[in-house]
Amino acid sequence: MDCIFCKIVAGQIPATLLGETEHSIAFKDISPRQPIHILVVPKTHHSNVADLAFEDPTGLVDLVQLGSKLAAEYSTGSFRLSFNTGIEAGQSVFHAHGHITSNTPKNQ
């Protein structure tokens, strides 16, 4: 499988890791769209968040919890957790992942 997120999970491609659990990892987006832009990714491959929800609901809860923890750590508490599912919705990497974004970093 030629999945960039699977390669990041496996340590084959470097990323700035911000958090990790048994089921998920989180790292800085390489093309941030806001001052805070963190990607939260399940360690197992699922094409999108809908597949993740049906195939591994525990993994989805873990991903949301890790994302929420990092949002609290890096933002003032105002943040967005979003998922794109399908090319028409803007999904460009077909491995489930959530975007934690915020314009309000904690240190401001």
Q: Which residues are part of the catalytic machinery?
A: 97
pLDDT in tens, 41-91: 999 999 999 999 999 999 999 999 999 999 999 999 999 999 999 999 999
User: Span 15-23, mean pLDDT?
Assistant: 98
pLDDT over 90 for what percent of the chain?
A: 94
Please give the model's pTM, rounded to 2 decimal places: 0.95
Q: What is the DSSP string of 13-75?
A: S---EEEE-SSEEEEE-SS-SSSEEEEEEESS--SSHHHHHHH-HHHHHHHHHHHHHHHHHHB
Spell out the domains of the chain, with CATH numbers in brackets: 4-102 (3.30.428.10)
Tell me the Cα Rg of the chain. 13
What confidence category does residue 108 fall into, taking pLDDT thresholds of 50, 70 and 90? Answer: low
